[in-house]
Chain A
Amino acid sequence: MARTLITSPKTAKRGEIIEIRTLIAHPMETGYRRGDDGAVLPRNLIRRLSCRYFDGHDDVEVFSAELFPAIAANPYIAFFTVATASGTLRFTWQGDNGFTQTESVELTVA
């Protein structure tokens, strides 16, 4: 389980545009680097981040990011979403070597 840090408001007004900032600990090994012994360090990347918004009625992917080796280690991704109704934001990171991790945050919309 990689350490994650998700920063988003706990409450928002209906229709308000909120900013969500995500950080996850991951080396994002490019597959282009060599170690001290000269051997190539195998590629190990997070390939995708998806954010789904479940508000009790529907479960919609409101944001996704496809990541490549050019994304820096410990990927930081920030984006916006509209606070439609109270619910759960579910973040899923997927990557090489079967890496998958999901974190959820609650959002209360008045």
Chain B
Amino acid sequence: MTTRRRLLTTTTGLAVALCLRPARATPEELAAAISAFAAGGAVRAGRVKLEVAPLVENGNVVPITVSVESPMNEGDHVKAIAVFNERNPQRDVAVFRLGPRAGRATVSTRIRLATSQQLVAVAQMNDGSCWTQKVDVIVTLAACVES
């Protein structure tokens, strides 16, 4: 591959790096993924805090923290926390399984974001109820990429 072609390929940046097909909004897929996790039940806004920088320097490594208000005792605790994205090739990001042994319903990880998009965290309680928060994240492309 000529140097020029390689440079042109890589300067289209992360969106190409992560996707075989161009990123496109798939709100139905996102809704379907959330609904499947919630086993068809209602998903209410609240109790969940999804922390992510509103503007990220590089979509390859984006730190996130999800914390859920919960006493985390036997009778009232978070069973699972799922994170979904809107515009990566695949909606799922991670599913964390907790329980009363966790003590605190807070998880942190680092994710990939192919482009600016919405991130959704859903917490499922032991009684089956689900709570959520959505955050919009802007992802800029690196200015100087190497071949």
Contact = CB atoms under 8 A, between A and B. Distances in A.
A and B touch in the complex (CB under 8 A): yes
Interface stretch (A1-9, A77-85, A90-98, A100-108): A77-85
Contacts of A53: 101
Contact size class for A? 35 or more
A17 to B, nearest CB: 3
B35 interface: no
Contact of A70 (B6, B90, B99, B102): B90
B98 A63 contact: yes
Given A32-B19, A64-B96, A81-B101, A70 B88 contact: yes
Interface of B: 1, 6, 17-20, 60-63, 85, 88-90, 92-104, 106-113, 147
A72 to B, nearest CB: 4
Contacts of A66: 94-97
Interface of A: 17-18, 21, 30, 32-34, 36-38, 40, 53, 60-73, 75-82, 84
A107 B143 CA distance: 46
5 closest Cβ contacts across the A-B interface?
A: A17-B103, A80-B104, A82-B103, A78-B108, A72-B110
A17 B92 CA distance: 29
B1 A63 contact: no
A69 B108 contact: no
A69 B90 contact: yes
A19 B113 CA distance: 26
Given A36-B6, A69-B112, A71-B112, A63 B102 contact: yes
A78 B64 CA distance: 10
A65 B107 CA distance: 10
28 contacts: A17-B103, A17-B104, A30-B89, A32-B17, A32-B20, A33-B17, A33-B18, A62-B102, A65-B107, A65-B109, A66-B96, A68-B90, A68-B93, A69-B88, A69-B89, A69-B112, A71-B110, A71-B111, A72-B61, A73-B60, A76-B110, A77-B109, A79-B98, A79-B102, A79-B106, A80-B103, A82-B101, A82-B102
A77 B60 contact: no
Nearest to B106: A80
A82 B101 CA distance: 6
A78 B107 contact: yes
